[in-house]
A and B are shown apart, each in its own frame.
Chain A
């Protein structure tokens, strides 16, 4: 097969929030940039974010970045790196105001400022009372943000390769990153994108689970590519189960519903969160709310004929508030739950939502790996931002609205780092190895010739069922052990998937087979990292971790206050320290404490 070669200063993979924000920095700096995306940019999954983006603007209630930093560190169950967290919360106002200047249609307060609403885990005065920190455009914040970012890129003449699927990372013998291979979906042709800098902004892999709020396209492409190319994945055992997915359908109902006053109720109509989180109640952190819901269901207080969900009630809110602040939720609820939330509560259940782990980076967006005794050595030419990256600001549990903030701050930071390195001449076009596209061509050739293999959708389903069963909201030591065996079996099956479609033109069967290779890497990383972490922390909660004075909530700081690093080769695990030191010497570290809401 003939392989075309394109040369650019930089290639960005992914055109969601992080990719588009990074692209703006590069385009405005005049760098010759290619943005590869497997869907038209405004179809990226950022579009589905609803409730808002965090910034301590203080437009409705008093606020400051110190409080935001405290909430984020506490939310992360102290697994977040405090230098990256300080960097993010301090940049929040700047990146949100920039978006307003780009034209993003935020809702407004009576005095014309950006409207802000309360959100889970965000507080005033170090955990005391809920704060209005989430900057919102109705309940369509992600849509408004993604379109504004795309539009700004149209203005900046960014060059997009739309419906091109990146396949493999290209590295040389020294481990430097030289670009990617990618397939044009319309023609099936594979090309090499050779660049001085490669930025991954490929989003998460929520589709490893059977029940997920995530789009079909969220297949962890960048994470899988990085893992296959020898980059370790960080903290992959931490997955967020969003408390309120529509029962049965999985579609997201924003936490902003509870921010506007929504209440979770069990089968007897009780506001059960008062028992689990007496202070913040329904606005406790997501991991806490999801576990409380599952406990209610497990103890027989679930709703419906199968007692398998709880109810999200906003019938006490005025129809005007619902129509003004939550119009999209009303639409989703009618469409997917068959109820009008003005009249009846919405059936909801915790649903896989967000990948806290990912490709390890520092706060500048550089991908970092252990080398010669140093845990965080930048990989030359390689950067990552957004959900595919792990900076790590979310640690063991992300706060709502911090994901849109993450992709803005670190998309911009990665872009700025690349622009600075480019201008200072540090970036060079390193020679391509001769066989740069061989791995990708072999993957396509295998799919062409495979016989006696299994259908892609069957193997994918087996993976999703395994993850759902063995690595869910609550985790059990025995089940995790069995899960490791099972997921490795599924991974073997994935090596011989077979497709009937042999067309070169828009072969979506082939795309799905290639995506499965990425999902499988993520699934293995998750299960193996989870089995190994013998404590409860944030979203990772095990039955064999004991809540006592030494290990509060089962969190074992003595042995497990460290980041996991999983290597695909040999399923090897390594660990590195958490950075408990903020970026600025004058900022006090947030001291370890038992996490309650």
Chain B
């Protein structure tokens, strides 16, 4: 790898304060050898043109801030290797959510759905003095569920969520729902299933599996949704 290299970008730009409509900006930036991830390149671009707006924080794939659409696929800029991307690298905001500015989207609807599944442990027994016990095997049921970083890559790649963001909980919210259904310490199973018993909230998932394809943490919302559907069937018979 040469120490300096130039990377070509095509970036979605929109500032409602001055632009009538969004446009795609062609721009290139020279990188240092230490620049490995897409986020490094975007930070360099911003040093060149400070009007480019995007969210970012931890730069290690755990805060979920810098989700965007990269060459047509949702992902985190901080975990995407620049050298593996075809140029010009096309950057767009996450699809299906209102754009506020550049690649910053309004995530209100996404979080509303997350909140709708009561994303907290419900256990109405008096709290014991020490921890509630849980076997290592029962704890392992939460692996692949609790690690979600709420980046919204999954929900905003889901056609069912694009069509019904107000009615379909979406893969991120349903993954969180199953995280609590699968927790042996949670007592609200039937209340949680009632909350999803609806033609849209759960059953709009048609197992397209875009969510699995894009999840930067390697999680599998479709599988979790399948398990919720199984629980629905089991309690019906």
Hey, which bits of chain A sit against chain B, CB under 8 A?
39-40, 42-45, 47-48, 57, 97-98, 100-103, 105-114, 137, 140, 143-144, 147-148, 151-152, 154-155, 186, 215-217, 248-249, 251-252, 328, 331-332, 335-336, 455-457, 499-501, 503-509, 512
Q: Does B64 contact A (CB under 8 A)?
A: yes
Q: How far is the CB of A142 from chain B (nearest CB, A)?
A: 8
A251 to B39, CA, bound (A): 14
A43 to B61, CA, bound (A): 10
A106 to B185, CA, bound (A): 12
Chain B 110-123, CB within 8 Å of chain A: the 1/0 string? Answer: 01000100111101
Residue of A whose beta carbon sits closest to that of B141: A105
Contact flag A42-B50 (CB < 8 Å), given A107-B139, A108-B136, A112-B135: no
Q: Does B51 contact A (CB under 8 A)?
A: yes
Contact B60 A336 (CB under 8 A): yes
Contact flag A42-B64 (CB < 8 Å), given A155-B120, A335-B79: yes
Query: In residues 14-61 of chain B, which contact A (Cβ within 8 Å)?
Result: 15-18, 34, 36, 46-47, 49-51, 53-61
Q: Does B127 contact A (CB under 8 A)?
A: yes
Task: Give the chain B neighbours of A40 by CB distance below 8 A.
Answer: 65, 107, 111, 150
Residue of B whose beta carbon sits closest to that of A457: B47
Q: How far is the CB of A408 from chain B (nearest CB, A)?
A: 15
A248 to B146, CA, bound (A): 30
Q: Which 3 pairs, one residue from A and one from B, show the smallest C-beta to C-beta distance?
A: A103-B121, A112-B133, A509-B50
Q: Does B62 contact A (CB under 8 A)?
A: yes
Task: Give the chain B neighbours of A216 by CB distance below 8 A.
Answer: 56-59
Q: A45-B63, A47-B149, A143-B62 are in contact. List 16 more A-B contacts (CB 8 A).
A: A43-B64, A48-B60, A105-B139, A107-B139, A108-B133, A108-B135, A112-B134, A137-B146, A216-B56, A216-B57, A332-B60, A455-B50, A457-B46, A457-B50, A503-B18, A509-B50
Contact A45 B51 (CB under 8 A): no
Looking at the complex, which one of A101, A148, A328, A508 makes contact with B132 (CB distance below 8 Å)? A101
A455 to B136, CA, bound (A): 53
Task: Give the chain A neighbours of B55 by CB distance below 8 A.
Answer: 39
Q: How far is the CB of B56 from chain A (nearest CB, A)?
A: 6
Contact A108 B139 (CB under 8 A): yes
Q: How far is the CB of B79 from chain A (nearest CB, A)?
A: 6
Task: Give the chain A neighbours of B17 by CB distance below 8 A.
Answer: 503-505
Contact B100 A505 (CB under 8 A): yes
Hey, which bits of chain B sit against chain A, CB under 8 A?
15-18, 34, 36, 46-47, 49-51, 53-65, 79, 100-102, 104, 107, 111, 115, 118-121, 123, 127, 129-136, 138-139, 142, 146-147, 149-150, 180, 183, 185-186
A504 to B16, CA, bound (A): 9
Contact B150 A506 (CB under 8 A): no
**How many residue pairs bridge A and B at CB < 8 Å?**
155
A112 to B186, CA, bound (A): 16
Task: Give the chain A neighbours of B47 by CB distance below 8 A.
Answer: 455, 457
Residue of A whose beta carbon sits closest to that of B49: A500
Contact B150 A108 (CB under 8 A): no
Contact flag A108-B119 (CB < 8 Å), given A40-B107, A103-B185: no
Contact B62 A509 (CB under 8 A): no
Which of A45, A98, A137, A505 has the most C-beta atoms of chain B within 10 angstroms of its own C-beta? Answer: A505
A248 to B35, CA, bound (A): 10
Contact B34 A248 (CB under 8 A): yes
Q: How far is the CB of A497 from chain B (nearest CB, A)?
A: 11
A455 to B121, CA, bound (A): 47
Contact B65 A152 (CB under 8 A): no
Contact B50 A499 (CB under 8 A): yes
A434 to B142, CA, bound (A): 54
Task: Give the chain B neighbours of A109 by CB distance below 8 A.
Answer: 136
Task: Give the chain B neighbours of A328 by CB distance below 8 A.
Answer: 62
Contact A111 B133 (CB under 8 A): yes
A509 to B46, CA, bound (A): 9
Task: Give the chain A neighbours of B101 by CB distance below 8 A.
Answer: 503, 505-506
A505 to B185, CA, bound (A): 44
What are 12 A-B pairs with beta-carbon distances under 8 A? A39-B57, A43-B64, A48-B60, A98-B127, A105-B142, A216-B58, A216-B59, A328-B62, A332-B60, A503-B101, A504-B17, A506-B102
Residue of B whose beta carbon sits closest to that of A142: B62
Q: How far is the CB of B5 from chain A (nearest CB, A)?
A: 17
Task: Give the chain B neighbours of A47 by CB distance below 8 A.
Answer: 58, 62-63, 149
Task: Give the chain B neighbours of A100 by CB distance below 8 A.
Answer: 131-132
Residue of A whose beta carbon sits closest to that of B142: A105
Contact B119 A48 (CB under 8 A): no
Contact B146 A105 (CB under 8 A): yes
Contact flag A215-B63 (CB < 8 Å), given A506-B100, A506-B101: yes
Contact flag A45-B58 (CB < 8 Å), given A101-B132, A506-B100: yes
Q: How far is the CB of B237 from chain A (nearest CB, A)?
A: 30
Contact A456 B121 (CB under 8 A): no
Q: How far is the CB of A150 from chain B (nearest CB, A)?
A: 8
Residue of B whose beta carbon sits closest to that of A156: B120
A102 to B134, CA, bound (A): 14
Contact B120 A151 (CB under 8 A): yes
Looking at the complex, which one of A97, A101, A112, A503 makes contact with B51 (CB distance below 8 Å)? A503
Contact B57 A501 (CB under 8 A): no
Task: Give the chain B neighbours of A144 by CB distance below 8 A.
Answer: 146
Contact B120 A215 (CB under 8 A): no
A510 to B168, CA, bound (A): 37
Task: Give the chain B neighbours of A248 by CB distance below 8 A.
Answer: 34
Q: How far is the CB of A456 from chain B (nearest CB, A)?
A: 7
A106 to B51, CA, bound (A): 42
Which of B57, B127, B149, B183 has the most C-beta atoms of chain A within 10 angstroms of its own C-beta? Answer: B57
Residue of B whose beta carbon sits closest to that of A507: B53
Task: Give the chain B neighbours of A506 by CB distance below 8 A.
Answer: 53, 100-102, 104
